[in-house]
């Protein structure tokens, strides 16, 4: 049935009303499902490690530590300074290793190479390794995300 000046019939009106309700109901059921399957993640601003464990690293070699859920490497340079890298290959996320005799970082998954400053030099990696900021404060080694106070 349609009233004389109406734009739609009573059936159309009711169908869109019920359809709209159904859509809203489905969306409100879907929302918690989607929220549930993505757990929260926050990258750490900094990690604090006991310096004593890293003091004895030979110059030109590395020791690994955990950067949140990611593996990371602390490298001692020849002059005694430190560099820290997230040890995740920028190509497809494999964990890289440091080869001291070649002075390069190496990813075994797809044959990716980085120089000792973490710059991508050979193979598929598109970007340098992510670098972290290292500071020694008393007994602690403090490793920060770049740009964090």
Partner 1 sequence: MKIKNLLPGIGAWLEERFGFRGLSRFLNEKRVPQHRHTIWYYTGSSILLFFFIQVVTGIMLAFYYKPTIEEANKSIARIMAEVPLGWIIRSVHFWSSSFMIALVLFHMTSIWIIKSYRKPRELTWMSGVFLLILTLFFGFTGYLLPWDDLSLAATKVGTDIPRSIPWVGAWVTKLLRGGEDVTGDTLTRFFGIHITVLPLCLLFILVIHIYLIQKLGMSLPLGLDKKKEEVKELPFWPNFVYREMVVWLVLSGILFSLAIFLPPSLGKEADLMAPAPEGIKPEWYFLFLFQTLKVFPSRILLVTGDTLAVSLLLLAGILFFFLPLIDYRPEERKGKVITFIAYFFIIYAVVMTVWSLVQ
Structure token pair of residue 103:
């002075």
Q: Stretches 49-57, 75-83, 93-101, 141-149: which one binds partner 1 (CB under 8 A)?
A: 93-101
Q: Pick one of 5, 7, 27, 39: the residue that binds partner 1 (CB under 8 A).
A: 39
CB nearer to partner 1: give 55 or 110: 110
Residue 70 engages partner 1 in binding (rule: CB under 8 A): yes
Integer Cα distance of 31 and 117 in angstroms: 44
Question: Min. distance of Cβ 55 from partner 1 in angstroms?
Answer: 20
Residue 108 engages partner 1 in binding (rule: CB under 8 A): yes
Could you tell me if 61 and 73 are in contact, meaning their C-beta atoms sit under 8 angstroms apart? Answer: no
Q: Stretches 20-28, 34-42, 47-55, 137-145: which one binds partner 1 (CB under 8 A)?
A: 34-42
**Would you list the DSSP string of 27-90?**
HHHHHHHHHHHS------SEEEEETHHHHTPPTT-EEEEEETTEEEEEEE-TTS-EEEEE-B-T
Q: Stretches 22-30, 51-59, 120-128, 140-148: which one binds partner 1 (CB under 8 A)?
A: 120-128
Q: Centre a 10 Å sphere on the Cβ of residue 73 and count the other Cβ atoms it contains.
A: 23
Residue 125 engages partner 1 in binding (rule: CB under 8 A): yes
Residue 99 phi, psi (nearest 5): -105, 100
Q: Pick one of 57, 94, 133, 142: the residue that binds partner 1 (CB under 8 A).
A: 94
Task: Look at residues 129, 29, 43, 26 and name the one whose alpha carbon lies nearest to residue 84.
Answer: 129
Summarize as ranges the residues that interact with partner 1 (CB under 8 A).
37-39, 41, 43, 64, 66, 68-71, 87, 89, 91-97, 107-111, 120, 123-126
């Amino acid at each position: 049935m349609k009233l004389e000046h109406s734009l739609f019939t009573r059936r159309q009106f009711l169908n869109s009303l019920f359809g709209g309700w159904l859509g809203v109901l489905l969306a409100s059921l879907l929302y918690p499902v989607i929220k549930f399957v993505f757990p929260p993640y926050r990258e750490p601003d900094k990690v604090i490690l006991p310096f004593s464990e890293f003091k004895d690293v030979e110059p030109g070699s590395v020791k690994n530590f955990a950067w949140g859920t990611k593996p990371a490497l602390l490298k001692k340079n020849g002059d005694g300074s430190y560099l820290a890298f997230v040890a995740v290959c920028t190509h497809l996320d494999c964990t890289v290793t440091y080869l001291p005799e070649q002075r390069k970082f190496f990813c075994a998954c797809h044959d990716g190479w980085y120089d000792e400053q973490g710059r991508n030099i050979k193979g598929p990696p598109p970007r340098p390794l992510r670098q972290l900021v290292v500071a020694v404060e008393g007994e602690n080694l403090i490793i920060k995300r770049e740009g964090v106070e």
